[in-house]
Amino acid sequence: MSLSFNIIALIGRGADERVASTMKGLAPHLAKRGVRVLVANELEVDLPCEFVEQVPEAELPKHADLIVAVGGDGTMLYASHLVARHEVPVLGINRGRLGFLADVTPDAMLRNMDEVLDGNFTREPRLLLASRIGGNEGPESERLALNDVVLQKSEAGRMLEFETHVDGRFVNSHSSDGMIIASPTGSTAYALSCNGPILQPKLHALVLVPISPHTLSDRPIVIPATQEVEIRMLERRETRAQVVCDGQLTADLEAGASLHVSAARQSLGLIHPPGYDYYRTLRSKLQWGRGSSGRPGTRKG
């Protein structure tokens, strides 16, 4: 992997008019700077062949030095899965307002891309999660996730019953709608809706967040990312559970089966133009600084 970006692949959901329009502005700009621009055959955007080359989407990370993902955080997740095993970095251009991951706005896009091409950027590694079902060995049975690996019920109205173990030690038995194992990146996604804390991305840690737990003291636990999580479905009642990685259903988990989650060997490289500020993104996305509860300052006269 080179950190001068000579070949850049654009990805995004071209059917979205804002995505298409952004790509149409970006591709010629990059081409004029001498960058080879790749897009997927499948891309639903009509870009002049003088500026771009088409390859199958799965081939993009083999050829490109950088993936530019145009869209929202969903597109960034998609891009992270495309590149995860190739260690090609990703830069995100948002369609609209700031995303957690796609932090270049359309109006700053050309200026920011120029800065990045001039070597004026930071590369931030983000922890990826690796999950596998117990009994399935080998790298091909491993699924990667940027945000979270979620165990959830697949049947209405029934709680799951399972145990958590960390590095082989029994932690707790749970009755709940499921369990989220989130990376720092994912701590501001689904996990946050389930009372999980925010993990700063520099923290090499995972968080286990139970979903709607039966026991009210069954609280999120943050552990070092060097440790492995195992979730064991209990045998004792008929159970239908699912494993969902970054929002995609990846497996069913039966009674007695186990799910293993740890930090992946790979990480995702996020490319940020100058001025990137993680906390500004938090403040913007979480509406910080705009009053919520109506607790007035009291007055005396």
293 binds a second copy (CB under 8 A): yes
Site string for a second copy, 151-170 (x = CB under 8 A): -x-x-xxxx------x--xx
**Closest approach of a second copy to the CB of residue 40, in Å:** 9
3-class SS of residue 277: coil
Taking the C-alpha atoms of residue 126 and residue 264, their distance in angstroms, rounded to an integer, is 11
- Cβ atoms within 10 Å, residue 294: 5
Identify residues 199-238 at the interface with a second copy (CB under 8 A). Answer: 199-200, 202-205, 207, 211-224, 227, 237
Give the nearer residue to a second copy in terms of CB position, either 103 or 142. 103
Burial class (CB in 10 A: 0-12, 13-18, 19+), 247: middle
257 binds a second copy (CB under 8 A): no
148 is catalytic: no
Give the nearer residue to a second copy in terms of CB position, either 108 or 203. 203
CA dihedral 140, 145, 149, 152 (to 10 degrees): -80
84 binds a second copy (CB under 8 A): no
- 241: enclosing H helix or E strand: strand 241-245
Taking the C-alpha atoms of residue 132 and residue 60, their distance in angstroms, rounded to an integer, is 26
73 binds a second copy (CB under 8 A): yes
Catalytic residue selected from 73, 148, 218, 246: 73
Identify residues 87-126 at the interface with a second copy (CB under 8 A). Answer: 99-101
**Closest approach of a second copy to the CB of residue 251, in Å:** 10
Q: Could you tell me if 90 and 79 are in contact, meaning their C-beta atoms sit under 8 angstroms apart?
A: yes
246 binds a second copy (CB under 8 A): yes
Which residues are tagged catalytic?
73
